[in-house]
A and B are shown apart, each in its own frame.
Chain A
Amino acid sequence: MPKVTLTHFEASLLMAFLISVVLGVVSRRTDEERLRYGLRCFGYFLLAIFGLAWLMRLGHG
């Protein structure tokens, strides 16, 4: 079985995308609402990823 090796950034971005797809599909009633909600979730994930990354960067000095 091959082994996938990803960086922290790639893995967290991939997980954010996959979770956003599922949240978008199950959470709303129309396709347009689903797409918007999925994109919004992905945006929040990105915000959290970059925010926490900078927090750790600044915390470590």
Chain B
Amino acid sequence: MSKKQKPKREPLPPLNVWGHVVALAWLVPGGGHFLQKRHVRGAILGGTITLTFLLGLLMRGSMFTPRTGDLLTTIINVGGFLGNLASGLLYLLTIWLGYAQPDVAGHVHDYGTKFLVAAGLMNILAMVDAFEIAAGRKD
């Protein structure tokens, strides 16, 4: 009986091939695609992620801070903070401009908070896609 073969792992291309693409993709949603001349996909991704983030702000969602404590508190707050941070300039500008919505009860605020984190998570998907294009794994 033949053993199941592991799929071959592709070697990681050098950092100078994809580093700047991923950095731009993080800072500006869709920016990594624009840099690689994928204008339509860049515009759709950038537009969707920015719209999600703006809707989160308009619903007065709160931003997470990297608070630690028991395991669940740490996972929620640090995970949420990383999700917020993944939005790049959108998050940084919002914080620099003084947005500080406290976490209050109400389903609209709750959805706002989730929209803000979802925007960051979607940007991570866009960053991975930009990386795969830069690395030649996708056209």
Q: Which A residues fall within an 8 A CB radius of B?
A: 1-6, 8, 11-12, 14-15, 18-19, 21-23, 25-26, 29
Please name the residue on chain B nearest to A14 by beta carbon.
B55
A21 CB contacts on chain B under 8 angstroms? 44, 48
Partner of B57, one of A1, A8, A14, A25: A1
Closest 4 CB pairs of A and B: A4-B58, A26-B129, A11-B111, A22-B122
CA distance A12 to B55 in the complex (A): 12
Task: Judge if B75 is at the interface, Cβ distance under 8 Å.
Answer: no
Determine if B129 and A3 form an interchain contact, defined as CB atoms under 8 angstroms apart: no
Determine if B108 and A6 form an interchain contact, defined as CB atoms under 8 angstroms apart: yes
Task: Judge if B125 is at the interface, Cβ distance under 8 Å.
Answer: yes
Counted as pairs of residues, one from A and one from B, with CB atoms less than 8 Å apart, the total is: 58
Most buried by A among B55, B114, B139: B55
Determine if A26 and B59 form an interchain contact, defined as CB atoms under 8 angstroms apart: no
CA distance A22 to B41 in the complex (A): 9
CA distance A14 to B114 in the complex (A): 12
Determine if A11 and B58 form an interchain contact, defined as CB atoms under 8 angstroms apart: no
| Contact A2/B58 with A18-B52, A22-B45, A25-B45 known, Cβ cut-off 8 Å | yes
Please name the residue on chain B nearest to A34 by beta carbon.
B41
B114 CB contacts on chain A under 8 angstroms? 15
**From residue 32 to 75 of chain B, which have CB atoms closer than 8 A to chain A?**
41, 44-45, 48-49, 51-52, 55, 57-60
| 6 additional A-B residue pairs with CB within 8 Å, beyond A11-B108, A22-B126 | A5-B108, A15-B52, A15-B111, A18-B118, A22-B122, A25-B45
Least CB distance from B91 to A in Å reads 16
CA distance A47 to B129 in the complex (A): 27
Task: Judge if B128 is at the interface, Cβ distance under 8 Å.
Answer: yes
CA distance A8 to B111 in the complex (A): 8
